Amino acid sequence: MPKTPDYFVGKTVVITGAASGIGRATALIFAREGANVFSADLDGAGAERTANQVTQNGGKAAALGVDVTDRAAVDAMVGRAQAAFGRVDFLFNSAGAAFRRAKFLEIDDELMDKTFDLNVKGTFYAMQAVVPLMLANGKGVIVNMASMSHKRGGPGASIHYAAAKGAVLTMTLGVAREFADRGIRCLSISPGPIETPFQAAANTPPALLEQFKNDVPMKRFGRPEEIGELVLFMCSDAAEYMTADTVYVNGGGGWR
Ligand SMILES: NC(=O)c1ccc[n+]([C@@H]2O[C@H](COP(=O)([O-])OP(=O)(O)OC[C@H]3O[C@@H](n4cnc5c(N)ncnc54)[C@H](O)[C@@H]3O)[C@@H](O)[C@H]2O)c1
């Protein structure tokens, strides 16, 4: 929670991947705090649904169908958010996917390229689009979605994805440190398994899902809201000395 009451009222967050899962939950949490929400996703109708839910709850929101692997589209997204609300204070890069599970020798160029285009370049483009605005404002916070998998390497199922999230972590560190004395903070979150459509999208087999759960001492998947509340905290004035790091949210698991 923020240190100052109403800290988020009238401020704007741009969220990629806002149609589903963690992005969507985070959009609703920021709206609860009075922030303007710019909901962006490849699934334009889904982004619209999230924005509609915000406005039905009395908040302000706009939506856009955006492919974050397209630099021009990402630039336009940030321009649209600035035009809609007159300011961009926060960026949450939640768009991401593992596409499919594959053993190391089965990872082909197409899977590697798609995984890096979405998770790494998508995050890179959005950060490059928003940093000039944040520099002009003298402040801003960027939160990127990494994954616990970067720590474990994803053996047997997701080395492509773990490596991409490792790159997200490293970019976050670099951006944070390059702009630390100009009011911009940049953080990443490294969750364990969270209950969203993500696993279905990656065709994760039931046995692997069970293995993920058993590896968590709390014996359950996390909920998307349990990540969204952390994004809110990171963007708030209660976390002003916090930058560059990743925060692990995993029910005690993932260190094996
Ligand atoms: N769910 C988990 O277990 C888990 C664990 C660790 C990290 N993560 C990361 O959290 C983030 C959010 O995942 P989630 O669990 O909410 O998954 P999700 O599948 O529910 O949501 C991902 C969203 O990203 C969107 N997206 C995909 N490609 C896109 C593109 N090219 N341009 C714009 N949007 C695109 C999808 O349409 C979807 O709405 C991802 O970066 C994911 O890698 C998830």
Domain boundaries in the chain?
12-249
0.95 surpassed by pTM: yes
Residue 43 has a CB neighbour count (10 Å cut-off) of: 17
The predicted-structure confidence for 93-109, as pLDDT tens digits, reads as follows: 999 999 999 999 999 99
Q: Is 207 exposed, middle or buried (0-12, 13-18, 19+ CB in 10 A)?
A: exposed
Spatial separation of the C-alpha atoms in residues 242 and 239, rounded to whole Å? 5
Q: Which CATH architecture has domain 12-249?
A: 3-Layer(aba) Sandwich (3.40)
CB-based contacts of 63: which residues, under 8 Å, 6+ apart? 18, 38, 39, 40, 44, 47, 48, 50, 51, 52
Of the residues 125, 161, 241, 248, only one is catalytic, namely 161
Spatial separation of the C-alpha atoms in residues 209 and 206, rounded to whole Å? 5
Q: Which atom of ligand 1 is nearest to the CA of 118?
A: 31
By most ligand atoms within 8 Å of CB, the mutation choice from 42, 69, 189, 221 for ligand 1 is 42
Q: Is 161 a catalytic residue?
A: yes
Q: Which residues line the pocket of ligand 1, CB cutoff 6 A?
A: 16-17, 19-23, 41-43, 46, 66-69, 94-97, 118, 122, 145, 147, 191, 193-194, 196-198, 201
Question: Which segments of the chain are extended strands (E)?
Answer: 12-16, 36-41, 61-65, 90-93, 140-145, 184-191, 246-249
The predicted-structure confidence for 113-126, as pLDDT tens digits, reads as follows: 999 999 999 999 99
pLDDT, averaged across the chain: 97
pLDDT at 255: 61
Cα–Cα distance list, 92 to 143, 148, 226, 240 (Å): 5, 18, 15, 17
Residue 9 contacts residue 85 (beta carbons within 8 Å): no
In this predicted structure, the answer to whether residue 12 has a pLDDT above a threshold of 60 is yes
pLDDT band per the 50, 70, 90 thresholds, residue 52: very high
Spatial separation of the C-alpha atoms in residues 171 and 127, rounded to whole Å? 10
The predicted-structure confidence for 195-254, as pLDDT tens digits, reads as follows: 999 988 998 999 989 988 999 999 999 999 999 999 999 999 999 999 999 999 999 997
